[in-house]
Amino acid sequence: MIEIIAHNLAPVMFTSVMALLLLGYPVAFTLAAGGLAFFFIGVELSAFAPDQIRLFPNLIQANANRTFDVMRNDTLLAIPFFTFMGLILERSRMAEDLLDTIGQLFGPVRGGLAYAAIVVGALLGATTGVVAASVIAMGLISLPIMMRYGYDRSLATGTIAASGTLAQIVPPSLVLIVMSDQLGRSVGDMYVGALYPALMIIAMYCAYIFFVTLIRPNSAPALPAEFRTLGGGVTSLFAMIILSVGLAYALYYFVFDGLRYETRFVWSATIATATALAFSLANRHLKLGIISRLAEQVIIVLIPPLALIFLVLGTIFLGIATPTEGGAMGATGALILAFVKRRLTFGTLKEALDSTTKLTSFVMFILIGARVFGLTFYGINGHIWIEELLLALPGAEHGFLIVVTVIVFILGCFLDFFEIAFIVVPLLVGPAESLGIDLIWLGIILGINLQTSFLTPPFGFGLFYLRSIAPSTAWNDEVTGRRIEGIRTGQIYKGALPYIAIQFIAILIVIFYPRLVTHYKDEVAPVNLEEFQIQLPGMGAPQAPSGLPGQGGGAQPGGLGLPGGLNLNGSPPSTGGGSSGDAPSLGLPGLPGGLNLNGAPPAVEQAPTEQPVDLGQPPVIQ
């Protein structure tokens, strides 16, 4: 019996720890305690299975170094930066301004408020990166307005919950940061790889709303004209966009044409957007009336968060900043935006710092516990067990990805994405590399999968966030004076189902069309090693191109002025009549005066041929 347990200690350990997690025990302490307990069990059982259990008592000291490795990981610095940025923006009521303005912009269109929720969810995901903040903010602001104007309850709640979860996949997502760290890949590559799938999911959400408005127009009506406080004026907005793009184009090709393309793009875009913002502010405060109130409000409200997104993502994509540096700039930009809007108070700053510290400590403790767990699990060949299990699946890489998607989706219904990222993802690296799967591709698939788990009834965290702020009882609307019925939990679950289907379609598209992700490799130009040549500059020959004075007899183009006439390109220099005389090359004894590595070899004097000695004759004495 003991030998059976010893030979199957890896599955016993994995199953036991996962069962404790599903029972609700604290993640960090469960991982650490499970790792330590099975470490000592493995040491005792190592005599029964020495080929599978490679644990010995002194190995436990390695946990100290592994813990300090976590603390020295610079990549994880991006987590507190992006969390702090998101919390500052959320507490400065940026979501409220965006929803109100974009709702007015899309108001005349059927489903306009739903489109606004999707667009704002994407913008909040690109600035805050926190699902809870996005879902709660949009639920508090958009949901009452949608109920007021007759939106279907399931459609409204499903759209808000799904839009809030876009923070999981839209860069700079915390999920992508943790995923890149666990997969051992660049955060910048992960962001670039996630860009097209994120845009595709946003487009699929909008296409679903458009389809619903076609078959059930009453479920997503347009905003009534009397509630469009900003009026019309879309024409002037398009005119401002065209003028700004034209200005950026002119600056890029005619003003900054002598700079690198990254610098040209940054300065051109910055000046063009700053000009549009300054003109809109002047139009408002000086009451010029050149552009409409709608165009003015859209530009003033949208440009600051878009500038912040560019400050973070644009600098990372262009290679100007690392993700950690981008997060630091984003946090600074969020503080500046909140200060400019006069919404930065000491209380807001304290709350944001407290929440950031709690989340960062939560992540670090889970990661330390995962390192303790990993040391024991790898010591009992658990990674080999996982690899053999997954490599035995049919379908090669596609079969592997589909099975992993199902497993992670089920675990995502019960566990937080940090727990899955720190426990499950490292175990998938070995099998994925054995099958030749790009790890960035795998990370994006897992990120979309974890986003889907936020929407899955009955344990989806996004649904819990929305349920916590959605009114469950009837209330009197102050604007219309009508009594509006509350929202049932079943309506929230029903509204999430179409978006879950959309998510699965997106996962299948990414699995069977990996170019949506692997395009990040195209940015690096391949080098043909067969055509790669190294040319050394000339040193002393008149034809050498270095342009430095030669040696002896006056200045010669191309020489480095080395004594002894060192020559790497031409023929051996003559030694007669020069200042060198018979001195050895470089002033060192025993070196020839003419060293030639590329030209014809110098003439070598033949030693005189000695006459053979006849040993039968007496020696000749001179």
pLDDT confidence of residue 242: 92
Q: What is the mean pLDDT of residues 76-80?
A: 82
Structure tokens at 562: 């080395």
pLDDT confidence of residue 197: 92
Domain extent at residue 311: 75-233+292-521
Residue 36 in any domain: the answer is: no
Peptide bond into 498 cis (omega under 30): no
pLDDT confidence of residue 208: 94
pLDDT one-digit tens code per residue, 224-277: 776 777 766 788 888 999 999 999 999 988 888 888 777 788 888 889 988 998
Residue 39 in any domain: the answer is: no
The whole-model pTM stands at 0.73
pLDDT at 413 over 90: no
Provide φ and ψ at 605, rounded to 5°: -70, 135
Residue 227 in any domain: the answer is: yes
Structure tokens at 501: 């289907």
- Name the domain count of the chain: 1
pLDDT at 552 over 50: no
Residue 383 in any domain: the answer is: yes
Residue 268 in any domain: the answer is: no
Residue 21 in any domain: the answer is: no
Provide φ and ψ at 571, rounded to 5°: -85, 165
Residue 334 in any domain: the answer is: yes
Q: What is the mean pLDDT of residues 431-443?
A: 88
Q: How far is CA 589 from the centre of its chain?
A: 60
pLDDT one-digit tens code per residue, 470-495: 887 877 777 677 788 888 888 888 88
pLDDT range class, residue 207, cuts 50, 70, 90 = very high
Cβ-in-10-Å burial (0-12, 13-18, 19+) of 462 comes to buried
Average predicted confidence (pLDDT) for the chain: 79
For every residue of 43-93, DSSP letters joined together read HHHTTT-TTT----GGGGGHHHHHHHHHHT-GGGGHHHHHHHHHHHHHHTT
pLDDT range class, residue 204, cuts 50, 70, 90 = very high
pLDDT confidence of residue 137: 76
Cα dihedral 115, 120, 126, 132 in deg (nearest 10): -110
pLDDT confidence of residue 433: 86
Least confident of 129-138, 244-253, 267-276, 334-343: 129-138
pLDDT range class, residue 201, cuts 50, 70, 90 = very high
Q: What is the mean pLDDT of residues 319-343?
A: 85
Cα–Cα distance measured from residue 559 to residue 324, given in angstroms and rounded to the nearest whole number? 48
Residue 79 in any domain: the answer is: yes
